[in-house]
Amino acid sequence: MIETEAPSVATQFAPYGVGLSSRLLLGTAQYPSPKVLADAIHAAEVAVVTVSLRREAARTRGGERFWDMIKGLGVRVLPNTAGCRTPKEAITTAQMARELFGTDWIKLEVIANDDTLQPDLFGLVEAAGVLARDGFKVFPYTTEDLGAAERLLTAGCEVLMPWGAPIGTGRGLANPYALRTMRNYFPSVPLVVDAGMGAPSHAAQAMEMGYDAVLLNTAVAKAVDPVAMARAFAQGVVAGRTAFEAGLMEARDMAAPSTPVAGTPFFSFEPKA
């Protein structure tokens, strides 16, 4: 068997000019233990993890231990404003995160609905503008709405993070048509599918569409074996991106023979008398 080196698929993913070694971004919530989290991060070889300020930033011994563990992993931290319901709340949380984690990167969440955790697009655009003017590198958690996407870019965002499905549902890409449209509409904007993925095949599907990366949490953290699942998602991301770069065949409505008919030998048999 001929062994070949796995292709590098991360060279073109550089949000805000920072080149990353992986196209998989991983959340840090709900893991059974800090060790399992650390092992999952190592297994998937992720370069960026998200951290909720509300959960980890309190000046407590537990929060300090968690932060020391994350720093020891050598990964870039993307704090998020999870749970914020208003632009003011999200802006304040982002400012606290910058001070605590020492980064101007922020995953911006402004939630409109408790049942779906759908982004409040009006509040999101408002908060993004304020934070971008304050020097933040904003990663907005949004929907596939093209109008909102244009306003976020105008506000100063250089990355968009549309949801695949509502957070924690594991349903995969609920509206692939809209996601594909967004990818085609913004061909040069770094796009990250965020939330709702439940299986590595969902991540591969997003990457096959040409998305630059995926961000997920629950599907890994709540797996029977989070470490193995993290590795599986990383492999799905690589497979999907490699397929996109190789050029996927177009779907057809009718069958097409894979073996050409021309030149095929035909034999005729005459029945015996």
pLDDT digits (tens, 9 = 90+) for 154-186: 999 999 999 999 999 999 999 999 999 999 999
Residue 51 CB partners (closer than 8 Å, separation 6+): 28, 70, 77, 78, 79, 80, 101
Q: How far does CA 186 lie from the centroid of its chain?
A: 17
Strand order in the sheet with 137-142: 161-162, 137-142, 105-108, 76-80, 48-52, 24-27, 213-216, 192-194
pLDDT digits (tens, 9 = 90+) for 180-238: 999 999 999 999 999 999 999 999 999 999 999 999 999 999 999 999 999 999 999 99
Using CA atoms, how far apart are residues 204 and 236, in angstroms rounded to an integer?
5
Q: What's the farthest any 2 CA atoms get from each other in the chain?
A: 99
From the list 198, 186, 177, the residue with the least C-alpha distance to 158 is: 186
The two beta strands, 161-162 and 192-194, are unpaired
Task: Out of 38-42, 102-106, 159-163, 248-252, pick the least confident.
Answer: 248-252
pLDDT digits (tens, 9 = 90+) for 126-144: 999 999 999 999 999 999 9
E strand or H helix at 137: strand 137-142
- Name the active-site residue from 107, 137, 222, 272: 107
The answer to whether residues 123 and 86 touch, using CB atoms and an 8 Å cutoff, is yes
For the four alpha carbons of 221, 14, 207 and 172, in that order, the dihedral sign comes to positive
Q: Establish whether 107 is a catalytic residue.
A: yes
pLDDT digits (tens, 9 = 90+) for 231-269: 999 999 999 999 999 999 888 888 887 776 666 665 566
Q: Which tokens belong to 171?
A: 């349903």
- What is the per-residue pLDDT for 6? 43
Return the number of other C-beta atoms located less than 10 Å from residue 113's C-beta.
Answer: 11
Q: Which tokens belong to 15?
A: 């949000």
